[in-house]
Structure 1
Amino acid sequence: MSPQNHRAPSKLLWPVVVGVAYFIAAALALWLSRSVSGAATIWPASGILLSGLLLRPAERWDGILLASAIASLSANFAFGSSLSVSAGFTFANIVEAMVAATIVRRSSGKDLAFDRPHGVGHFAVACLCASSVSAFLASLLSGDWSGGFTSSWFLTVLLGQLILTPLVMTSAQALRRLRLPRDYRRIAETIALLALVAVVSAVAFWQTHYPLLFLPVLPLLLATYRLGPVGATLSVFTIAVFGSLATSRVTTLFGASWPVQDLVLFFQFYLAALLVAALPLAAALAARDDFVGVLKRQQAYFEMASRTSSIGYWRLTLADSSLEWSEEVYRIHGLPIGEPPLLEDAVNAYHPDDRPLVEAKLDEALQTKGQFAFDARIITSFGELRHINSRGQVEFGDNGEAVALFGIFQDVSDRVRLVEDLRAARVMAEAEARHARELAETDQLTGIPNRRKTMAVLETEIEACRTKGTMLTIGLLDVDRFKSINDSFGHVVGDLVLQDVALACDKAIRTSDFLGRIGGEEFLVLLPGADTAAAGPIAERIRLAVIRDTAAGEVPEVTVSIGLAQFNATMRTSQLLQTADEALYDAKRGGRNRVEIASPC
């Protein structure tokens, strides 16, 4: 079988189901109306047809309308109406369904929701318009313009749509959402409530001595509250059935005789009033339940987010100093969830050193009627110190006066520890960097700056001389006969000699001077702010210190030769060093263990 042939029966099934249901409902209403002198209370077939249209897309309405037209024509003709009258009534009923369905689709789209107040409003307007059109067409085609016929037709059709359509639509939607296992408790509650409506309706309608028409309202409201739109429509339908049956048997009401037509009209208005009260209430209750569900989900999400981020909230009512805490605030304080503590206890939970800050921030917010924010420490019930951040604002009443303080409360202990760890890591990294830099700039044997560092300091001092016009003298120092010491005593002793020379020189120079080893047994002394006249005595002090310290130590006594040179603005660094080197050479040539000053260039 091809897919097209397979889909053909399913397209025909719905029109057949609607047509059969329409015929049964119309036949029952006509049979009941015959027992009350031709007056029907409601026309349920209208609600069935409208439901059939709304449950299917508009492009499939043709088959449903055709099947319902055949059912309507057959039912009216079978119960004694002429073919022409049956056709007129059928035409009016078909048009009314098309008008109502079109208005509903254009106002509410494909999803008509009876659990939304605006959906109920759109549906009621559509039914009023459609019933008005139907009553006009029925009066026009039948030629009966009497007020009784027109109003009876209008109310009969209107009630049929208002009662049956929500009932069918909500039941269909409930079946679509049905999941196993079924909620048998809910089913039992529905049956019990409808039975209560039926019993109360029977008591109210089947006696005429007491005005008990208010009684069905009570179980109707209860069913509406418990079951929503389904309960409202089922209850009104139950009341309509029992009331219609009672109308066929009762001719007196409240001790007075009433014409049957007036009783039917009265009962129709009664049903309309019940619908007007029940359906909007059901929609409002359903909307409330949805809103409560949304709030519960949002509350659950908020609590999950609060636990994850350790954020809670608090509120202080100024009139009685009462506190309100969220669950997370209790957890942060290490307290069981329950009654919040007194304001004094909450303040005392802060670290003593932080309490003045907290009180000052809150007082400032109250005075300025603005916001507040502070970081503080609290001591939990376990004695643990925690860091918190709180920020919020003042709440105002209708008169503009401050009524409360509201704020968030976040445990930032992990963040504070992280910041402290990062700070410690930065300090350590900086120390290691300094150490590495010192290692890179320090002579490993003597512990004084190496050639790289010495040359950098020399360049800095020369630049200062050029920009500031200051003086600079350098001294190039060399250990006399150092090679013979290495050859005679070994390199270990030679290293000890260099260490003692460096130590002696460092003691002899000024605090503003600089000493560095630039290679082998050569050292460079920088004497900022000194000319050769001032540098000579310093160099001589260095020479004597080397002799004295090495003679008193365990290493062989050594001497040094020093060549001094003064910087002038025309010199390059290399020229300055070369001049000092020449002075050192002169000191060596002059017998060693002496200071030689270079001639000015």
Structure 2
Amino acid sequence: MPLIIFGYMITMRRMFAQLGYSPLGPALLGIAYFAFAVLSLIEARGSHGIAAIWPPSGILLATLLIVPRRAVWRFAIAAIVASLAANLLDGAGFGVAAGFTAANGIEAMVATLILRRRAGRRVSFIDPSGLSTFFIATLIAASVGAGVAACISPQPSPEFTLAWLSTVWLGMLLVTPLLFAIFEVAASAKQAVSVRESLNLIGIVMLTVVATGITFSQSQFPMLFVPMMVIVIAVLRGGMLGGVISIIVVVVLGSLALWLGSGPIFLIRASHESRILFFQFYLLSLIISALPMATLLAARDRLRINLSERVRLLDQAEAAAHIGHWRINPSNQAIFWSPEVFHIHGLPDGQPPALDQAIDLYHPSDRRRVSEAVTRALTDGQPFAFEARLVRSDGSVRHVETQGERVYSSRDDAIGLFGLIRDVTEQIEARQILRDARDTADRSAEAAMLLASTDALTGLANRRRIVEYLDARLKGVAAGGAKLSIVLFDIDHFKLVNDHYGHDIGDEVLKRVASAAAEGLRNTDLIGRYGGEEFIIILPDTDASLALQIAERVRSNVQASQVAAQPMVTVSLGIASTVVEDTSNGILKRADVALYDAKSAGRNQSRLA
């Protein structure tokens, strides 16, 4: 029987893939339905009118769930014709045959409607909710069919109704999942089933045949538990397909033993009908025990595959982002590293180091800070984040950003840590490049500003800077600040120096005078070259008498700063102090008048405005 069903589903799969909605599909269903209906009716005649299971119901239900909705009516008609022919061949009258056919059709349609409404187009047997829905839907459908058949039966009885319900329900529970499993294997496999898988299924069948044969070939010992042990092995080795095939082998051999009057079922001192019902209950217990286990195993495998895929994608994402995750086990302080953490540390994948060894991988200057952060998180529960340097085995240094927080074990109150580590070396290097570029730009800007405000020859402030500074200081004086004085001076007979010694010597004289004058000033004073051989000194918070003293000190320094190969020069100085509502033009003009007075008086002297 399993080989016939397998051939039917393979043909159905090829029909869907190559022939579309060809009439070959309904014809195949009709042939399979008729063949199994006849076999089941023959078994029923040998078992006092009761068959162990009714496979045609499972075949029809699986087909209706697999085919597209618009093709359902074709297959339903084929099943009706096949059922009616089988019942008529069994000797039933046309009315009874039609009634039983209607009952079988109704139960298949009820189960199909419930399952498609609940699960959509695709019914799943690999998740617990889908299997529960399948159990409930088939039980309701079998109950409806049994009720319809009881109304039509010439000799209705509770035993007949219960037998119909159990026979049809078992047929759906066994055959439908098997056909689905075979169809899924045939439809989704990209290549033929491997030799290993084929040998595995053959081994399951052979083991089940041996165990079931030993169990049902004798009537002395109640060995019904032996097939259950084999079915558990079949589920573990072959999943849903292996479990269903193993149960079907038990059904076939057990039904044959009942037909021949052998097996531990006959240890029951009851009527043959009661033995059949017990056998059906036994089969139901096998199904209820095996299929949920197969479903849970399939769900576990699916979760494992999904988890493996998520871990793979997580590793790829971490590698792309240069981010790894780590954990510290709460019980033994052991460390877990994701693959990217090994890569960041420059270590091959393997066993992570111990906690103290992991801290030693940091730069010596950073180890104490890292250790304190981890200890604080473990003891106080404070989240932490820090930047530190890792020193790889090849001596290269990587900058990392680490953050973590305390977590608790799901089994007890033990404390551990979970965190992330990110390689930020490129960001740090880029940040340093930007910082260096900014510092260079700042220095360039300062140099440009200094160049724009400095006299190129003497290194003193130029006229622009002097005027801006004077204007700023005068605003402070106008606001009620202390007095301000300026000294305006130039080199006596400087034109003769240029004419007699040349402009090169004249430039050297200008630099010597500027340096000598600057040495006689305070830190708060500002001296600048006003133009040509003329200089200006701004003296903040200075009255006229103090300004005169400073001017005399400048004059003396210049007169004393004689250098060989350079002519001796002197300076004349004009001094002016601020008056009420003074302006830069006003004070400069007064200082210039005082300078003219000094020159008129014989030069090399100072005059107050």
User: 2:305 & 2:459 partners in 1: Cα distance?
Assistant: 76
* 17-26 or 266-275, which deviates more: 17-26
* 123-132 or 256-265, which deviates more: 256-265
Question: What is the RMSD computed on CA atoms of the aligned residues?
Answer: 2.9
Inter-CA distance 372–483: structure 2 relative to 1 (3 Å threshold): same
State the match for 1:152 in structure 2.
163
How far off its partner does 1:96 sit? 0.7
Q: Is the 8 A contact 2:222 2:267 kept in 1?
A: no
Q: Is the 8 A contact 2:487 2:573 kept in 1?
A: yes
State the match for 1:25 in structure 2.
36
How far off its partner does 1:532 sit? 1.8
User: 2:396 & 2:421 partners in 1: Cα distance?
Assistant: 17
Q: Is the 8 A contact 1:509 1:542 kept in 2?
A: yes
Match of 1:543 among 526, 536, 555: 555
Does structure 1 residue 357 correspond to structure 2 residue 377? no
Structure-to-structure mapping, 1:64-463, within 5 angstroms: 64-180=75-191, 182-250=193-261, 253=264, 255=267, 259-308=271-320, 309-317=322-330, 320=332, 322-330=334-342, 332=344, 337-351=349-363, 353-377=365-389, 379-381=391-393, 387-396=399-408, 401-463=413-475
Q: Is the 8 A contact 2:217 2:263 kept in 1?
A: no
Q: What letter corresponds to residue 192 of structure 1 in structure 2?
A: G
* 476-485 or 105-114, which deviates more: 476-485
User: 2:328 & 2:583 partners in 1: Cα distance?
Assistant: 75
User: 1:454 & 1:355 partners in 2: Cα distance?
Assistant: 54
| 1:264-310 Cα distance to aligned partner (Å, 9 max, x none) | 21221111111111111111111101111122122223333444525
| 1:483-520 Cα distance to aligned partner (Å, 9 max, x none) | 44334333322222221221121112222110112333
How far off its partner does 1:451 sit? 2.4
Q: Does the residue aligned with 1:552 lie in a helix, a strand or coil?
A: coil
Q: Is the 8 A contact 1:369 1:402 kept in 2?
A: no
Q: Is the 8 A contact 1:134 1:154 kept in 2?
A: yes
Q: Does the residue aligned with 2:21 lie in a helix, a strand or coil?
A: helix
Match of 1:500 among 491, 507, 512: 512
Inter-CA distance 221–401: structure 2 relative to 1 (3 Å threshold): closer
State the match for 1:3 in structure 2.
none
How far off its partner does 1:155 sit? 0.8
Q: Is the 8 A contact 2:324 2:337 kept in 1?
A: no
TM-score, length of structure 1 as denominator length = 0.89
Inter-CA distance 213–12: structure 2 relative to 1 (3 Å threshold): same
User: 1:8 & 1:137 partners in 2: Cα distance?
Assistant: 37
- Structure 1 stretches of at least 4 aligned residues deviating more than 6 Å after TM superposition: none
User: 2:76 & 2:605 partners in 1: Cα distance?
Assistant: 129
Question: How many residues align structurally?
Answer: 590
How far off its partner does 1:434 sit? 2.3
User: 1:182 & 1:484 partners in 2: Cα distance?
Assistant: 114
How far off its partner does 1:89 sit? 0.5
Q: What letter corresponds to residue 509 of structure 1 in structure 2?
A: L
Q: What letter corresponds to residue 313 of structure 1 in structure 2?
A: W
| 1:19-60 Cα distance to aligned partner (Å, 9 max, x none) | 232222222222332332322111111111111211123333
Q: What letter corresponds to residue 35 of structure 2 in structure 1?
A: I
User: 2:571 & 2:404 partners in 1: Cα distance?
Assistant: 75
Inter-CA distance 466–69: structure 2 relative to 1 (3 Å threshold): same
How far off its partner does 1:166 sit? 1.2
How far off its partner does 1:470 sit? 1.6
User: 1:454 & 1:13 partners in 2: Cα distance?
Assistant: 107
Match of 1:517 among 523, 529, 540: 529
Q: Does the residue aligned with 2:308 lie in a helix, a strand or coil?
A: helix
Q: What letter corresponds to residue 129 of structure 2 in structure 1?
A: H
How far off its partner does 1:313 sit? 1.0
State the match for 1:4 in structure 2.
none
Q: Is the 8 A contact 1:251 1:257 kept in 2?
A: no
* 220-229 or 559-568, which deviates more: 559-568
Inter-CA distance 249–408: structure 2 relative to 1 (3 Å threshold): same
Q: What letter corresponds to residue 211 of structure 1 in structure 2?
A: P
Give aligned-pair identity as a percent. Answer: 38
Q: Does the residue aligned with 1:556 lie in a helix, a strand or coil?
A: coil
Inter-CA distance 177–10: structure 2 relative to 1 (3 Å threshold): same
Q: What letter corresponds to residue 517 of structure 2 in structure 1?
A: C
How far off its partner does 1:477 sit? 2.5
User: 2:192 & 2:88 partners in 1: Cα distance?
Assistant: 46
TM-score, length of structure 2 as denominator length = 0.88
Q: What letter corresponds to residue 315 of structure 1 in structure 2?
A: I
Inter-CA distance 80–417: structure 2 relative to 1 (3 Å threshold): same
Q: Is the 8 A contact 1:315 1:325 kept in 2?
A: no
User: 1:95 & 1:510 partners in 2: Cα distance?
Assistant: 115
Q: What letter corresponds to residue 262 of structure 1 in structure 2?
A: S
State the match for 2:574 in structure 1.
563
How far off its partner does 1:411 sit? 4.8
How far off its partner does 1:433 sit? 2.9
Inter-CA distance 233–460: structure 2 relative to 1 (3 Å threshold): same
Q: Is the 8 A contact 2:21 2:71 kept in 1?
A: no
User: 1:60 & 1:197 partners in 2: Cα distance?
Assistant: 37
* 332-341 or 88-97, which deviates more: 332-341
How far off its partner does 1:137 sit? 0.3
| 1:92-126 Cα distance to aligned partner (Å, 9 max, x none) | 11111111011001111112111111111111111
State the match for 1:479 in structure 2.
491
State the match for 1:53 in structure 2.
64
| 1:43-84 Cα distance to aligned partner (Å, 9 max, x none) | 111111111211123333222222211111111112211110
Q: Does the residue aligned with 1:515 lie in a helix, a strand or coil?
A: strand
Q: Is the 8 A contact 1:564 1:583 kept in 2?
A: yes
User: 2:329 & 2:58 partners in 1: Cα distance?
Assistant: 56
Q: What letter corresponds to residue 579 of structure 2 in structure 1?
A: N
User: 1:238 & 1:552 partners in 2: Cα distance?
Assistant: 124
Q: Is the 8 A contact 2:326 2:335 kept in 1?
A: no
Q: Is the 8 A contact 2:387 2:402 kept in 1?
A: yes
Q: Does the residue aligned with 1:596 lie in a helix, a strand or coil?
A: strand
How far off its partner does 1:539 sit? 1.6
* 91-100 or 424-433, which deviates more: 424-433
